[in-house]
Structure 1
Amino acid sequence: MSVKKLTVFMALIAALSLPSVEAANQEIRALFQPDSSQPNKNVFVNKTPNSGYCADFPSECASNGMFSIRVPIRFSTFTPLFSSNGVWVKVPAAWQVLNVTNQQTQQTRPVEVRISGIGSRFRLSKPVTELTGESDVGEAHRKLWEGSSWVYAAPPCLYSGWGLPSPTTYQFFWKTPVQGSCIKTAAMDVGHMDFEYLDIAYELRTPDPLTMPTGTYTGALTYSVGAGGADFNMGPFFRADDSSLTLDFVLDVHHALKVDLPPGGDKVTMEPVGGWQRWIDTGRMPTEIYRDQQFYLSASSPFKVMMICNSLGGTECGIGNNEVGFSKFEVKLTLPRGITGPGNSDGWSGTLSHNTWLGPFEPTRYVDRKPGTLRFQIPRRWIESLLKPGMNGTLWGNVTIIFDSEV
């Protein structure tokens, strides 16, 4: 008798003074792939390279679960800033939901995203020392704005600990814990200024990858850019050279479904407990004839199981040949813990049926090479006919157990 296996690898921004008509796009990519060294870490890994703030301060972003991208959106004044005029830094800091769709199955899952920080480098039309009359560049930047220089965020934005001044520029980054405009007010006449780009920090809430079939999921979230009520704006004195920013999300899900048999595990010999000698010596008919065959399962997504054998249907498979006779056997499957089956039982166990899918079986975590069991057994009602006089020799048969991720 042989057991065959099917192993399936599862394969988740240019006019300065005219209304903007352009749009900017940025891809955000994340991947789920089971990791045998961290089987309980069932999360997406952001694969989008950091640029801007998080590229400069990776430990700060890692400790806060932030990622950042630099997008070439420029804001410019269309009228000079005078004393008491403000720069209204506003970003979409609240969580927003978009759906990502599996390109093959059209199944959708929700993704949440929020903008958790904003930064840039602004450029003045005149040196800051000329605007303030202060010879020290750092002190000049502090005097130009109420509440000191741009390293100090205007509420409700928060300080990030970073600012880089020069005579005509200032590079900064602020955290944005809540929705709102963070208004930095000029203490003196500023004149014209530009924000040369946007450093955007973002946070993601992704779905449970164990519930997502293998594939690539895509979706997009578009933000408005400009003045007034735009998602990204710098207040009433600035225009942007792009009217929108679209984040294109790509989630790649690469599941694993693998079944391994130990060496020689594809040949199974059923016999009574202790072998046949006791029956030969005593004539006492055994009550059980079986063999337990261990296998090792790795799974990170739902799957189903089916048995194919010599059968007209049901749980019993034919075994034997014309020389020695025929009998019947059944196959009982026991899965490792961490896999739930019908009835939501953990470590599911049950008898397989010919040409009938059983499942779905769903991992509650990534199961990495955990042992399960296939029990091949002669039903008790068939033992007596199997051991009748004149039936000598070896009965053989084939059975195929299919593990399939296409639930």
Structure 2
Amino acid sequence: MNKLMNRLVLAGMLCGFYAGSAHAATLNVEAEIKPDPSNPASAEIINNTPVTGFCLEYPGQCASNRIRSNTFNITFQSSGAIPQDGNLPFHFPAAWRKFNVAHESIPGETAEIEIRIAGVGTRYSLSHTAKELTGRTDTVTPHEYHVTLWRPSWANAIAPCTSLISDGADPNGRDYTTFWKISEDASTCGPRTARFAIPGMTLSKLDVAYELRAVRPEKLIGGNYVGSYTYTIPSDLNMGNLIASDPSMTFNLNLSVKQDVKVVMSSDRVALAPKGGWMDWITHGRKDESLLGDLRFSILSSAPFKMELTCERSLNDTCAISNETNHTVPVYISVSLPPPWVDDMNQPISRRPLRVAGTGLQHLKLMGSPTGQPSLLHFEVPPGAVNLMRSDSSYRGTVYVTFDSNI
């Protein structure tokens, strides 16, 4: 959950207060992130997009390599015959790329996300069977004919890429499936050289494994972020004279952020008293002053949040306490947060009023590293209300302070 509600009891007596995809080359990615309040910078993005393509067909290989795939319906067609000793390059963007996503509910609120291509697979289809193209007359498995056709085989990735399948030959003799895992420092999986002339060839699909990560997950605000990143062809994905059916592939990201706000209250009860204490107040008869109380609490996370106030009894835009006969007086509540906590205008939070209407504290955020200093809730019954309180009465009330990361 991303909302933390604290119940505080205010209680006392006047003489001594006490506590109380529409497009073929577009992929819609559904993902979520839930930073740990104790270590928010280590949060991982969880990809909830249904798996398609290679990892749906070969789940065991993908599970052991900790990858997942999705299919882009992009075909690659040879522009003509591939000559004997002709090379097919395979250039892929494996390095991390940055792009921005925007919060759906907060104008101007953005976050930086990184994406990289971690694996690529396809199924090629030949104009003739591999046996016919190689001219072999012996009888071997379909895989062996494909091995003979290429140098190296499509089953053998060239370092720093690694193969996930050792035999992807289809019984029809023309089709072959392959998938290569790509390390971060790779820009190519190495060319394939045709040992024999190939009149025509098509890559019928493009299966992609990809990774996502947030640059500053602790800065993310609860809710949804949306954004996209586009790879262009052939600038980013280059397969030589194999011509793509689409000039780009786009990842549309819908990122659900589920932040938790971790707050520890020093108590759930607040004692209200005159500034000098009850004995001094009684001795000197100084009734024309406020009744005050402070409550310490600690924020143990760095997620942005908002504060909300609800009351057992309310009076105008604040809470109230009452005695046994339901005589009611207001209690004004404010909050102070240590720097570098600021509001949405980057202003410090010092005795900022906490109102039932919720105005003023809708977006609290860190502008640096948390210091671990305590925060304070301030409670005050103003002098005019104190003068109206009836002697020998106990005044009580309950307030609820909510810390909510779903801004």
Q: What residue identity is the alignment partner of 2:157? A: A
Q: What residue identity is the alignment partner of 1:301? A: A
Q: CA deviation at 1:296?
A: 11
Partners of 1:320 and 1:143 lie apart in 2 by: 91
Aligned to 2:395, the other structure's residue is in SS state coil
Aligned to 1:54, the other structure's residue is in SS state helix
Q: CA deviation at 1:35?
A: 8.0
Alignment-derived partner of residue 253 in structure 1: 257
Partners of 1:59 and 1:333 lie apart in 2 by: 54
Q: Is the 8 A contact 1:320 1:394 kept in 2?
A: no
Identity among equivalent pairs (%): 29
Partners of 1:304 and 1:99 lie apart in 2 by: 24
Q: Is the 8 A contact 1:23 1:243 kept in 2?
A: no
Partners of 1:94 and 1:312 lie apart in 2 by: 54
Alignment match of 2:199 (pick from 191, 195, 216): 191
Q: CA deviation at 1:397?
A: 5.5
Alignment-derived partner of residue 244 in structure 2: 240
Q: What residue identity is the alignment partner of 1:169? A: D
Change (3 A) 1:256 1:193: same
Cα deviations by residue, 1:278-308 (Å, 9 ceiling, x for unpaired): xxxxx9xxxxx99998999997832244779
Alignment match of 1:218 (pick from 216, 226, 230): 226
Q: Is the 8 A contact 1:80 1:190 kept in 2?
A: yes
Partners of 2:154 and 2:406 lie apart in 1 by: 55
Alignment-derived partner of residue 144 in structure 1: 149
Q: What residue identity is the alignment partner of 2:163? A: S
Q: CA deviation at 1:341?
A: 5.0
The alignment status of 1:160 with 2:163, answered yes or no, reads: yes
Partners of 1:270 and 1:69 lie apart in 2 by: 61
Aligned to 2:139, the other structure's residue is in SS state coil
5+ long unaligned stretches in structure 1: 6-12, 14-21, 277-282, 284-288, 343-348, 365-371
Q: CA deviation at 1:104?
A: 2.2
Alignment match of 2:121 (pick from 116, 119, 122): 119
Q: CA deviation at 1:69?
A: 0.8
Larger deviation: 395-404 or 173-182? Answer: 395-404
- Which residues in structure 2 correspond to 1:58-77 (within 5 Å)? 58=59, 61=62, 66-77=67-78
Alignment-derived partner of residue 17 in structure 2: none
Q: Is the 8 A contact 1:126 1:168 kept in 2?
A: yes
Aligned to 1:142, the other structure's residue is in SS state helix
Partners of 1:121 and 1:240 lie apart in 2 by: 14
Q: What residue identity is the alignment partner of 2:395? A: W
Q: CA deviation at 1:30?
A: 0.8
Alignment-derived partner of residue 46 in structure 2: 45
Alignment-derived partner of residue 95 in structure 1: 96
Larger deviation: 157-166 or 293-302? Answer: 293-302
Change (3 A) 1:143 1:42: closer
Alignment-derived partner of residue 131 in structure 1: 133
Change (3 A) 1:334 1:42: farther
Partners of 1:331 and 1:217 lie apart in 2 by: 33
Partners of 2:220 and 2:264 lie apart in 1 by: 24
Aligned to 1:140, the other structure's residue is in SS state helix
Larger deviation: 299-308 or 120-129? Answer: 299-308
Aligned to 2:26, the other structure's residue is in SS state strand
Q: CA deviation at 1:254?
A: 3.2
Partners of 1:128 and 1:119 lie apart in 2 by: 19
Q: What residue identity is the alignment partner of 1:68? A: S
Q: Is the 8 A contact 2:40 2:302 kept in 1?
A: no
Partners of 1:363 and 1:151 lie apart in 2 by: 51
The alignment status of 1:169 with 2:178, answered yes or no, reads: no
Q: Is the 8 A contact 1:23 1:244 kept in 2?
A: no
Partners of 2:59 and 2:42 lie apart in 1 by: 21
Change (3 A) 1:270 1:69: same
Q: Is the 8 A contact 1:93 1:116 kept in 2?
A: yes
Q: Is the 8 A contact 2:161 2:189 kept in 1?
A: no
Partners of 2:120 and 2:92 lie apart in 1 by: 7
Partners of 1:72 and 1:327 lie apart in 2 by: 68
Partners of 2:362 and 2:105 lie apart in 1 by: 22
Aligned length: 357
Q: What residue identity is the alignment partner of 2:253? A: F
Q: Is the 8 A contact 1:129 1:135 kept in 2?
A: no
TM-score normalized with structure 2 length: 0.64
Q: Is the 8 A contact 2:40 2:217 kept in 1?
A: no
Q: What residue identity is the alignment partner of 1:251? A: L
Change (3 A) 1:98 1:64: farther
Partners of 2:293 and 2:248 lie apart in 1 by: 66
Q: Is the 8 A contact 1:330 1:351 kept in 2?
A: no
- Which residues in structure 2 correspond to 1:98-109 (within 5 Å)? 98-107=99-108, 108-109=110-111
Partners of 1:65 and 1:189 lie apart in 2 by: 37
Change (3 A) 1:312 1:211: closer
Change (3 A) 1:58 1:295: farther
Cα deviations by residue, 1:149-184 (Å, 9 ceiling, x for unpaired): 2111245x5232414113222111112331136210
